[in-house]
Chains A and B, each alone.
Chain A
């Protein structure tokens, strides 16, 4: 801790008073260690509202179960348990986190959810974040991989409008590409924008409703 006097009246004190995002990293590291200890591979699924995160998770879970992997899901929502009910209806062990108006999941909330989740029953855990392309970028959860899901119905400019989350996320699904012609969107333009902000990332076109592209997405996620 240095102390330097700038004038008779003002002191400048320099030093380390704590990094609030570093604390998030530490909590995320605890989650990561817990998941590794249980042999669970976790994916943080971020993305826009209505982009098809839940449907895509259910579709990926079906394909992973064909490979004899056991899959579970945590649903993060401001309120309600609609996504939790969808996961349960698909036969997945599931748990709901309601953030009570918080716009993102954080490692602290997920840590508590992991205490309650039946981790020995799963090999893969999808954690569906709040529908938001801004705030979740600042809050690592301790997962192995991050995935951002957008859909063509949100428009061609999603990467340009939210560049930082795409720059930091190495796997992106552009969902509902079967609707592209109906909404006048060229998915290749989304892909071109993504390549600019993340030259080493992988972007996959998907249709969660019929499974198109989902094997390729799983491959991009390392499965």
Chain B
């Protein structure tokens, strides 16, 4: 249950960004990339962001979460690409495997551990409403 602390991190970095780079309207959507190795409930993250952003300029903005598949690099055989996923009956979750799909030795994670804001959907403020 660390969704609140990570939602606070997302919110804080975005508010910092907006202070330095004002956008021409109201932020309606916040596009987030979440790696599939991250152990995080999407529902709880959205809920936490909604609660924590209340009263800020991001109040009412929706988190739109895109899952990023795990990619690995093998220092032994040079493989670089998608990780193999384990799908077992009854586990109800595909598990990314961090052994090299080619040679089974330990692989390094290239992507799949991120939790990053990558875009904003901004609704333009009508001209007559601008001061």
Contact = CB atoms under 8 A, between A and B. Distances in A.
A18 B17 contact: yes
A167 B95 contact: yes
Interface in B40-57: 40
A8 B25 CA distance: 12
Nearest to B106: A200
Contacts of B90: 160
B129 interface: no
B124 interface: yes
Interface residues of B, number: 46
Contacts, number: 117
A197 B97 contact: yes
Contacts of B106: 170, 200
Interface stretch (A51-59, A62-70, A134-142): A134-142
Contacts of A16: 116, 118
Contacts of B98: 167-168, 198, 200
A163 B97 CA distance: 10
A133 B76 CA distance: 30
Contact of B124 (A1, A9, A165, A168): A9
Nearest to B105: A200
A103 to B, nearest CB: 5
Given A10-B123, A11-B23, A165 B116 contact: no
Interface of B: 1-2, 5-6, 9-10, 13-14, 16-17, 21, 23-25, 28, 31, 35, 37-40, 86, 88, 90-91, 93, 95-99, 104-106, 113-124
Given A104-B2, A135-B1, 14 more contacts: A10-B28, A11-B121, A18-B13, A18-B16, A19-B116, A23-B9, A137-B39, A165-B39, A170-B106, A196-B86, A196-B88, A197-B97, A199-B104, A200-B99
Interface of A: 1, 8-23, 102-104, 134-135, 137-139, 160, 163-165, 167-168, 170, 196-200
18 contacts: A10-B123, A10-B124, A11-B23, A11-B122, A12-B122, A13-B119, A17-B14, A17-B118, A18-B116, A19-B116, A22-B114, A23-B9, A102-B5, A135-B1, A137-B39, A197-B86, A198-B99, A199-B97
